[in-house]
Amino acid sequence: MFDEVNTPVDQDGYQHRWIDGAPIDIPVGKVVCVGRNYADHARELGNDVPDAPILFMKPATSLVSLHEPIELPKGQGEVHHEVEMVVLIGKRIHKEADLDNVRFSIAGYAVGLDLTLREVQNTLKEKGHPWERAKAFDGAAPVSGFIDARGISVKQKLNVTLEINDEVRQHGHTGQMLFPTFELLREISQTFTLEPGDLVFTGTPAGVGPLNSGDKFTARLGNIIQVFGSVA
């Protein structure tokens, strides 16, 4: 298991990095997120289980290193954690891509948190408004370093786990995803092209809840990535 406690941070802002801290020579792009890709998570929030991927995006400015202390927005209600497997795109994926093209276009995998201002999101949903104020704020997408995709098989049903203050809050595995990784990326590409440096947050298992100042957490992706982190 790899431990990312001491990964350095680019002083000029977020940069994609390998798990050992080495920079990845790919520009930082957009962040595509998938909502309700685990049925139990959809149900826990009282939502319907979708028959097609629910997509939304975060800007590159939402990205920060997961092992740096997380800064929570002030005065906007609870900030909920949503732990997810994250895919780094290494080669362009467009609507003509088949599943083999998709597989060989993935550069790496990481673990990340889709941070959500839950009360803000609920208010926006009630009004029929977009979610960006709840999902796309600066620092809303903490992500770990990446493992080279060539050494990973997503058919392994990788565990996606978050412990907070030594208590397991979220636990699932990628085999529970309603829309599996390769099929999901191909489906996304039917709407908009995925470019090198883009990230895809693939959805979160059940157990989402609030983060609080002073919390200590451990985020894991299978037995390949383990990140010890904290909330400022």
* Dihedral pair phi/psi, residue 209, rounded to 5°: -175, -175
* pLDDT, average across residues 217-222: 97
Q: What is the CA radius of gyration of the chain?
A: 16
DSSP 174-227: GGGBSS-HHHHHHHHHTTS-B-TT-EEE----S--EEE-TT-EEEEEETTTEEE
165: domain CATH number is 3.90.850.10
Task: Report the alpha-carbon distance of residue 216 to residue 94 in Å, rounded.
Answer: 39
Does the global pTM surpass 0.85? Answer: yes
- Tell me the per-residue pLDDT of 11-41, one tens digit each, with 9 for 90 and over: 469 999 999 999 999 999 999 999 999 988 8
Average pLDDT, the chain: 92
Domain that holds residue 101: 2-230
Percent of the chain with pLDDT over 70: 95
Strand partners, 111: 85
The pLDDT confidence band at residue 48, using thresholds 50, 70 and 90, is: confident
* Dihedral pair phi/psi, residue 101, rounded to 5°: -60, -45
* Residue 153 near residue 182, CB atoms below 8 Å: no
* Residue 119 near residue 132, CB atoms below 8 Å: no
Q: How many domains does the chain divide into?
A: 1
The whole-number pLDDT of residue 41 equals 86
The pLDDT confidence band at residue 6, using thresholds 50, 70 and 90, is: very low
- Tell me the per-residue pLDDT of 87-144, one tens digit each, with 9 for 90 and over: 999 999 999 999 999 999 999 999 999 999 999 999 999 999 999 999 999 999 999 9
The whole-number pLDDT of residue 85 equals 98
- Tell me the per-residue pLDDT of 147-171, one tens digit each, with 9 for 90 and over: 999 988 877 899 999 999 999 999 9
